[in-house]
């Protein structure tokens, strides 16, 4: 190593350069793990990025073994080396908090204690190690591959998943967070533009697999977040009612119908609206508004303030639902209710196991916003009672896993919008509009 080269390096850096024999060498070469006793031939204590660049160029020119020291906590001693160059980042401990973006930018030598000191006045914290003297770099970069690490959190902020990302992905994330404009669109710009054209937002990213050290994920999108109206319609292909469902309908007839308007459930007449619904590509049928529970629950799942729920039914049955007020008044009487339910118990037998296995349910969903944009989907499932039983048992098993916090949820709120697609015999398709 020629002296002239050392002098060139000294003139290029603002930090200190330490060699064997210097008074500070012994303290500068030590790391947290006292069992590590390595003796580098040169230590550069960098003050800024320019110092780091100069040190890296020097190591490359001289083909030197190089180690990077952040907080110096690494148990394996990877922050130092024998006979090579140590680029010591410990003087670079700056932390910059962007409270509006809820992000923090940390210099390479900062410790988690430095980060906590800077973020706590803003009421912010970063999931990390619990020892404050640990360097940020050691828990942000994999010490073996030196690859950047991103920590993913679940929706409830209870589970953390560290994943490795490439340098290109890390650079893209940094430029986006810093608001840096590039000369040409980056991959995330193209994806954002695509989402914008679709009128969709990202609901969540679901890790689906890990193969050959590569994570695979599904991006769940929420289409038309500006939606203000939701129309749901159900129809069974064969459509045989159980005695329980028939009795519930008799109980509800005196109360008329229900829809949701501007976020509130309002009372409407029986058979308030009748529409022809395209339940499948080949089957369109008459459907009538009904006061099903989806009028209540779909609001909490979607946040859409105007909701109508329809049931596909034969036209003669729909006509019978248009009950005059005086007959609905009679149906409120307990003796009339008892008589009607007794009649149902004698005559309505419900679908058999064979009929349930053969039948299927069609679900039609349509959302639109005030600007006239519309998204329409169809769901095809197993017979309704079978689906209800299976989904209930599946929900219980998922709840017993212990990952769901106590509270009141709709199935999609608890297990995700695609929960129903996990159930056997369920398919979802888009309707061209």
Tens-digit pLDDT profile for residues 296-324: 999 999 999 999 999 998 888 888 777 77
Q: Domain containing 21: what range?
A: 3-88
- Residue 372 neighbours by CB under 8 Å, 6+ apart: none
Half-sphere exposure of 272 (CA within 13 A, CB side): 17
φ, ψ of residue 252 in degrees (nearest 5): -85, -20
Please indicate, yes or no, if residue 210 is contained in any of the structural domains. no
CATH number, domain of 334, equals 3.30.360.10
Cα 121 to Cα 281: distance, rounded to the nearest angstrom: 59
Cα 77 to Cα 69: distance, rounded to the nearest angstrom: 9
pLDDT of residue 285: 92
Please indicate, yes or no, if residue 132 is contained in any of the structural domains. no
146-163 per-residue burial string, b: 16 or more CB within 10 A, e: under 16 = ebbeeeeeeeeeeeeeee
Decide: pTM greater than 0.75.
no
Among 30, 56, 88, which residue terminates a domain? 88
Please indicate, yes or no, if residue 120 is contained in any of the structural domains. no
DSSP 252-289: HGGG-EEEEETTEEEEE-TT--EEEEE-SSS-EEEEEE
Best CA proximity match to 150, nearest among 123, 177, 130: 177
| Cβ pair 80, 38 in contact under 8 A | yes
Among 88, 112, 133, which residue terminates a domain? 88
pLDDT of residue 3: 45
| Cβ pair 88, 69 in contact under 8 A | yes
Please indicate, yes or no, if residue 114 is contained in any of the structural domains. no
Cα 197 to Cα 164: distance, rounded to the nearest angstrom: 30
Q: Say how many C-beta atoms besides its own lie within 10 A of residue 378's C-beta.
A: 20
Per-residue pLDDT of the chain (433 residues; tens, 9 = 90+): 444 488 888 889 999 999 999 999 999 998 877 788 899 999 999 999 899 999 999 998 888 999 888 876 666 677 889 999 999 998 999 999 988 888 888 888 888 889 889 999 998 888 766 677 777 776 666 555 556 667 666 666 666 666 777 666 776 776 676 666 777 777 778 888 888 777 777 877 777 777 877 778 777 777 788 899 999 999 988 877 788 888 887 787 778 889 999 999 999 988 889 999 999 998 999 999 989 889 999 999 999 999 999 999 888 888 877 777 777 788 788 888 888 888 888 888 888 888 888 889 999 999 999 988 898 999 999 988 889 899 999 999 888 887 777 888 898 888 888 888 888 889 999 888 7
Among 35, 67, 88, which residue terminates a domain? 88
Best CA proximity match to 174, nearest among 198, 151, 156, 148: 148
Please indicate, yes or no, if residue 150 is contained in any of the structural domains. no
- Residue 183 neighbours by CB under 8 Å, 6+ apart: none
pLDDT per position as a tens digit, 242-262: 888 888 877 877 788 899 999
Number of domains in the chain: 2
Please indicate, yes or no, if residue 105 is contained in any of the structural domains. no
CATH number, domain of 58, equals 3.30.43.10
pLDDT of residue 1: 47
Please indicate, yes or no, if residue 151 is contained in any of the structural domains. no
Please indicate, yes or no, if residue 148 is contained in any of the structural domains. no
């Amino acid at each position: 190593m020629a002296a002239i080269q050392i002098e060139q390096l000294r003139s290029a850096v603002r930090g200190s350069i330490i060699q064997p024999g210097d008074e500070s060498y012994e303290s500068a070469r030590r790391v947290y793990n006292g069992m590590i006793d390595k003796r580098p031939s040169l230590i550069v204590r960098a003050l800024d990025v320019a110092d780091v660049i100069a040190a890296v160029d020097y190591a490359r020119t001289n083909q030197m073994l190089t180690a990077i020291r952040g907080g110096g906590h690494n148990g394996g001693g990877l922050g130092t080396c024998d006979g090579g160059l140590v680029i010591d980042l410990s003087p670079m401990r700056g932390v910059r908090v962007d409270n509006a973006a809820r992000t923090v930018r940390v210099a390479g030598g900062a410790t988690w204690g430095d980060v906590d000191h800077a973020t706590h006045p803003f009421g912010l914290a970063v999931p990390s190690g619990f020892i404050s003297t640990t360097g940020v770099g050691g828990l942000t970069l994999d010490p073996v591959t030196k690859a950047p690490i991103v920590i993913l959190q679940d929706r409830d902020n209870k589970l953390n998943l560290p994943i490795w990302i490439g340098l290109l992905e890390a650079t893209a994330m940094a430029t986006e967070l810093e608001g840096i404009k590039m000369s040409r669109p980056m991959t995330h710009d193209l994806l954002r533009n695509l989402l914008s054209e679709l009128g969709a937002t990202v609901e969540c990213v679901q890790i689906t697999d890990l193969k050959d050290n590569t994570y695979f994920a599904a991006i769940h999108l929420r289409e038309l977040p500006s939606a203000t109206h939701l129309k749901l319609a159900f129809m069974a292909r064969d459509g045989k009612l159980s005695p329980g469902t028939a009795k519930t309908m008799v109980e509800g007839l005196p109360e008329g119908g229900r829809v949701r308007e501007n976020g509130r459930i309002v009372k409407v007449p029986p058979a308030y609206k009748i529409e022809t619904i395209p339940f499948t590509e080949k089957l369109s049928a008459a459907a009538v508004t009904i006061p099903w529970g989806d009028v209540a629950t779909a609001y909490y799942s979607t946040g859409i303030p105007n909701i109508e729920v329809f049931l596909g039914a034969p036209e003669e049955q729909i006509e019978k639902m248009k009950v005059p007020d005086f007959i609905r008044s009679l149906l409120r009487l307990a003796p009339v209710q008892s008589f009607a339910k007794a009649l149902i118990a004698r005559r309505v037998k419900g679908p058999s196991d064979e009929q349930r296995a053969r039948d299927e349910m069609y679900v039609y969903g349509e959302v639109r916003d005030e600007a006239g944009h519309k998204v329409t989907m169809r769901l095809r499932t197993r017979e309704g009672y079978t689906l209800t039983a299976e989904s209930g048992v599946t929900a219980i098993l998922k709840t017993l896993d212990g990952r769901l916090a106590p509270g009141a949820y709709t199935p999609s709120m608890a297990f995700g919008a695609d929960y129903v697609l996990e159930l056997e015999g369920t398919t979802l398709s888009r309707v061209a509009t």
